[in-house]
Structure 1
Amino acid sequence: MIGWPTRRRSRLLLGTLMVVAAGVGLVLIAYLTPLMSVRSTDIRESGSVPTDEILRAAAVPHGTPLLQVDTKAVAQRIATIPTVESVRVQRAYPSTLRITVTERVPTVIVKSGDEVHVLDRSGVSFLHYDKTQGVPPEVLKLPVLETPNPGPADPTTREAITAVAGLPDPLREQVIRVSARSPVDITFILTENRRVIWGDADRGADKARTLTYLLRREAKEYNVTSPEFPSYK
């Protein structure tokens, strides 16, 4: 005769197996059927990147079960769009694919012969123009970076761009050119041919405040490498 403890264990085992089977069944339903499939795509923070371009790059047909969507592969495809800095792709149940896009921020330009290259805040060159065919006016308003080896792996480039990107808008709008011979030798050329010896990218906020005050004085050169002891002439 089967004892009560044995029967209880059997019932528990059967109950557990039924729960597991139900869970597996639900997963199979979600994976193999359109019950929880992509019916909408929520694109966030795309900015100037056209939604249609993001959807084409994502290449996820409506009706694809969410569990079958390889979110990493989708993100990698969208990241090939030149103006996209980073992408996050998430499943939002029951039927939405959520795509969050962070765009590259145009920070400086580099001129090379007839070519104009736009660099983002990391020093990545992501837009290219031929001066003989025309360059958008908003691009030409960006500061021109002059440095021996511009690029994201170059410490001088990174420091110079960090210095420019950290400027408050009223100051950044006055910067025409950025000359950087080393990470600690950054110089800005402002409108009216005014020269600012900046030094490195450290203490950018302090230097910006000091420069804002100094620019009230008429001069051709301002030195804010040490914001506590600035000079002008």
Structure 2
Amino acid sequence: MIRWPTRRRSRLILGTLMVVAAGVGLVLIAYLTPLMAVRGTDIRDNGSIPADEILRVAAVPQGTPLLQVDTRAVAQRVAGIPSVESARVQRSYPSTLTITVVERVPVVIVTSGDEVHVLDRSGVSFLHYVRAQGVPPEVLKLPVLETPNPGPADPTTREAITAVAGLPESLARQVKRVSASSPVDIEFILTENRRVIWGDSDRGAEKARTLTYLLGRDAKMYNVSSPEFPAYK
């Protein structure tokens, strides 16, 4: 009567050890052998960035066991591509590495002499052109940002870009220049040299609706800094 429970415990312990050993064996197989190795890389959400460039920067050799791939390090390398805002790397078993990128979206340009810098929604300059070498037409269609200290750390830059990025397409394509001397003093210059006093970047949707209505009036200046009390002349 005493031996049966002891035998059952022994069998339970033995069974547990066998399960653990099998689990460890599977991990070692996956980590050390090519059975679950990288045989393909799936690049997702890249539009303007060639997949070959992402693969080159990712630098993960074919045949590397998936468990040996440092996904964080790979993501950091891919995020170092100027046109990439962020990157995520995932293991897709049994043999695929998936790299998903978020590309930077051009919002405005900043000119300095013969140079043209393209800024994204965070104010990061991620593309650079020299006029003498040619600037793509789609870049030249972006609004020109005029502010004392353009850059991602500058509050005025961030507010001005937020204001532009929030415009509906019907208004955005009319904006030629954005000038801002402070975060609350944003102005747009539209086609036909029409001036828009925008103020800060708050209540952008209301301001856009008001401006859309006012543009039906023949004027050269529109003030929507307080959308409930607009003005034009």
| TM-score > 0.5, shorter chain as reference | yes
Hey, what does 2:188 align to over in structure 1? Answer: 188
Letter in 2 for 1:167: L
* Structure 2 stretches lacking a partner, 5+ long: none
Post-superposition Cα deviations, 1:102-123, rounded to whole Å, max 9, x if no partner, equal 0000000011111111000000
SS in 1 for 2:181: strand
Hey, what does 1:151 align to over in structure 2? Answer: 151
Hey, what does 1:32 align to over in structure 2? Answer: 32
If the length of structure 2 is used for normalisation, what is the TM-score? 0.98
Q: Distance in 1 between matches of 2:14 and 2:47?
A: 54
Q: Distance in 1 between matches of 2:199 and 2:16?
A: 69
Q: Distance in 2 between matches of 1:47 and 1:133?
A: 24
Q: Distance in 2 between matches of 1:199 and 1:12?
A: 74
Q: Distance in 2 between matches of 1:228 and 1:222?
A: 13
Hey, what does 1:20 align to over in structure 2? Answer: 20
- Does residue 150 of structure 2 align to residue 160 of structure 1? no
Hey, what does 2:99 align to over in structure 1? Answer: 99
Q: Distance in 2 between matches of 1:147 and 1:40?
A: 46
Q: Distance in 1 between matches of 2:152 and 2:10?
A: 64
Hey, what does 2:215 align to over in structure 1? Answer: 215
Pairwise CA distance, 1:49 = 0.5
SS in 2 for 1:196: strand
Hey, what does 2:84 align to over in structure 1? Answer: 84
Hey, what does 1:125 align to over in structure 2? Answer: 125
Q: Distance in 1 between matches of 2:161 and 2:218?
A: 27
Q: Distance in 1 between matches of 2:229 and 2:36?
A: 65
Hey, what does 1:54 align to over in structure 2? Answer: 54
Q: Distance in 1 between matches of 2:80 and 2:28?
A: 33
Q: Distance in 2 between matches of 1:230 and 1:6?
A: 88
Letter in 2 for 1:231: A
Q: Distance in 1 between matches of 2:60 and 2:22?
A: 29
Letter in 2 for 1:214: L
Pairwise CA distance, 1:101 = 0.6
SS in 2 for 1:150: coil
SS in 1 for 2:23: helix
Q: Distance in 1 between matches of 2:136 and 2:95?
A: 40
- Does residue 45 of structure 2 align to residue 45 of structure 1? yes
Letter in 1 for 2:188: F
Hey, what does 1:11 align to over in structure 2? Answer: 11
Letter in 2 for 1:4: W
Q: Distance in 1 between matches of 2:208 and 2:23?
A: 60
SS in 2 for 1:226: coil
SS in 2 for 1:110: strand
Letter in 2 for 1:66: L
Name the Cα RMSD after superposition. 1.0
Q: Distance in 1 between matches of 2:2 and 2:148?
A: 87
Comparing 95-104 with 132-141, greater Cα deviation is found at 132-141
Pairwise CA distance, 1:132 = 2.1
- Does residue 182 of structure 2 align to residue 177 of structure 1? no
* Structure 1 stretches lacking a partner, 5+ long: none
Q: Distance in 1 between matches of 2:46 and 2:39?
A: 20
Q: Distance in 2 between matches of 1:2 and 1:129?
A: 86
Pairwise CA distance, 1:2 = 6.5
Q: Distance in 2 between matches of 1:150 and 1:10?
A: 73
Hey, what does 1:200 align to over in structure 2? Answer: 200
